[in-house]
Amino acid sequence: MATPPPEVQATRRAGLPTPNSTHSYWHRDPSKTLLDHHTTNDLPATADVVVIGSGISGAFASRELVAGGRSVVMLEAREACWGATGRNGGHCQPAIWDSTEEAATFELATFNLIKDLVAEHDIPCDWQVVGGVHAIYSQEVLEAAKKQIKRLQKYPDLKDKAVLVTNQAELVAQHVPDALGAIFQPNAAKLWPYKLVAWLLETLLSKHDAAVFNLQTNTPVTRLERREASWIAHTPRGEVRAREVLLTANAYTSYLLPGLTDIIVPVRGQICALQPPQGAIQLPHSYVWTKDASDQYLIHRGLDDAQVGPNTGDRSLILGGERFAVPEGEEGVSADDAIDPIISGALHRGLDHAVKLLPGDEPEKEALHAAYEWTGIMGYSRDGHPFVGRVPGTFLGGKGAESADGLWISAAFTGHGMPVAPRCGIAIAEMILGKEGGVKVPAAWIPSDERVSRARSMELARTLEDVLRSLPAED
């Protein structure tokens, strides 16, 4: 039975990715292999698995599926890795102090997976473990942080993964002199995320022929159709039939699964590459701070970065956040073809009194110039958890009578995909392969009708109080 997406009725139903996106800093050196890539001139008629989306979750899933003996056709609406993975802030930091033990352990394992993979293959993606500073500027957050750090002491594998700093001299040394405190997490890295995914996809293409791995960019899937025991992925260039379909479209999920409209909500994030003032120090860590329901997040590119090329010496400050500078916090926006001037102004001023860039008592500039500014669309789930597993029939938007056998999802990373999505991709591939004893995702991440029903009564966090209420309970 055909399940074409109906006309967009809810404001938070995703559309297709916009053809003309803002220009991401990370896309300034794109892969010549992947640009406008069609492994074959025509779409293949069939595959074992169609993977929709070419970001980090889809790339890791495809790698696992191919290793497990399945043929994969990857369909991407735009260029490869042109969605959230190619538009994020360049962080990979497991959430330790503010996550449950189960989620923190999963994310820490993902961090180690990427670290080991980069080291084993010498992947040129500027991966550097730098440690992460979570600066605290309100008494409420400081008190909550103290409780969370105390909670972590119950878990031997986590208790040394987050440390609370309140000594003023130490805060100055960490370049956050105006903070009331800061949590330091040693397992935090900065990287060029597009180059990591590009390496994965290029490697799949170089090691396998088109019958095993076939990448078709600029080929949006406009609808999914269940036909007998197969799925048909319809595109403007034709259709592909497969027994299994994996949706790794993240923020754009509800375009193809209307039943998840307003459950996986597209949220536009904005990021800029700020030019540091003359004489600025090289920040040794990555930085995060919270002043409302959205984190502000910062990495400092620099001469210590591993990537060698025409851009060596770039010391951009990659800063994202500030979406609540505008009403509604960019919720329900699935177009990344523009930047918001109000958010832009807030980002240009975002480091003032947050992170110290100049040595000694030198005055800081209130606003910095941006060489790049771009937007990207994140997929936020209303219950705060990813969706990883088999898709129930009701997600198709009908009355639940349709069969969704063979339809899978790995999406809704709520702006925190880098330390989560890779192992979610591996986990979902193992589910498709029927592999036992592999990567296990937290139970709260498994899709179900009951979960969606509960989520409909929840709201996305919009205030600092909302964020604090979402912290794990002391157990």
For the residues of 58-110, what is the DSSP string, one character each? HHHHHHHHHHTT--EEEE-SSSTT-SGGGGS-SEE----TTS-HHHHHHHHHH
* Mean pLDDT score, 6-15: 61
Is the pLDDT score of 129 beyond 60? yes
Q: Residue 5: what pLDDT?
A: 41
Is the pLDDT score of 404 beyond 90? no
* Contact (Cβ atoms closer than 8 angstroms) between residue 106 and residue 427: no
Q: Using a cut of 0.75, tell me whether the model's pTM lies above it.
A: yes
Superfamily of domain 2-86+194-263+382-469: FAD/NAD(P)-binding domain (3.50.50.60)
- Token pair 């600025």 is found at 280
Percent pLDDT > 90 in the chain is: 87
Task: Indicate the CATH number for domain 128-189+266-379.
Answer: 3.30.9.10
Is the pLDDT score of 1 beyond 90? no
Least confident of 267-271, 377-381, 445-449, 464-468: 464-468
Tens-digit pLDDT profile for residues 223-275:
999 998 999 999 999 999 999 999 999 999 999 999 999 999 999 999 999 99
Q: Residue 294: what pLDDT?
A: 78
What are the boundaries of each domain within the chain?
A: 2-86+194-263+382-469, 128-189+266-379
* Residue 6: band (very low, low, confident or very high) from pLDDT cuts 50, 70, 90: very low
Tokens standing for 268? 């536009």
Q: If you average pLDDT over every residue of the chain, what do you get?
A: 93
CA distance 281 to 358: 6
Domains 2-86+194-263+382-469 and 128-189+266-379 share a fold: no
CA distance 318 to 297: 8
Least confident of 7-11, 56-60, 355-359: 7-11
Q: Residue 303: what pLDDT?
A: 63
